[in-house]
Structure 1
């Protein structure tokens, strides 16, 4: 007995996608409106010109980071724990500016820690520079 193949008729179904597109646009508008824009604090590449008249009265604190891993202030080793007190005690009336001079071979993590300590102590601005040799 041979079976005869049966032919099924295919039903073509249509999906209406216009409500889906409308929903996507509504969600897009909702998320754009609900998003809060936050300005993150980070290292800024813009800084005041050092020849300005307002900053010429006060000399910025200058920390040096040699390749040996020390933190120096005017050639005197103070260590990482001495950065915040020096910044806090440097000026009573106005927060100081800080320059961190990094020499070749110095650890980037140490420079970041010194920068963090200076900012936590209330430094107005922190600038990283390379030691000219």
Structure 2
């Protein structure tokens, strides 16, 4: 009789448990895959009304985007840097990796500001300076 009680009591103590270790491992693997395959691009932070072009070609996803608004303000990564800030910013980026520079100029922006930004980027050592248009 005593033996029967011990067996019944130990069976009641054992409860079904769900092992979450494999699930957590899968979540971490998916998270690592997402982080490794994601392309991080510094957006300009402002909307620009780009001009249309007769012909265009796709540009590199890894690039430095500089925006010129219709009131001739120059932005990079959401911060206004001005024409004089383009050179140091391009030099800093090119010191880390060699990437092309893309200028997104509003179609109402002055050509003089665009050419000044273009010249600053080239003077800073950018090998490829492109401009963005609508498709």
Q: TM-score, normalised by structure 2?
A: 0.52
- 1:44-83 matched pairs, under 5 angstroms: 50=59, 59-83=62-86
Structure number with higher helix proportion: 2
Stretches of structure 2 that go unaligned for 5 or more consecutive residues are 1-54
Distance 2:80 2:92 in 1: 17
Q: Does structure 2 conserve the Cα–Cα contact (< 8 Å) formed by 1:64 and 1:71? A: yes
Structure 2 residue 88 is the aligned partner of structure 1 residue 85: yes
Stretches of structure 1 that go unaligned for 5 or more consecutive residues are 1-44
TM superposition outliers: structure 1 runs of 4+ over 6 Å: none
Shift in Å, 1:131: 6.4
Q: TM-score, normalised by structure 1?
A: 0.53
SS in structure 2 opposite 1:104? coil
Alignment correspondent of 2:123: 120
Higher Rg of the two aligned structures: 1
SS in structure 2 opposite 1:62? strand
Query: Which structure is higher in RCO with an 8 Å CA cutoff and minimum separation 6?
Result: 2
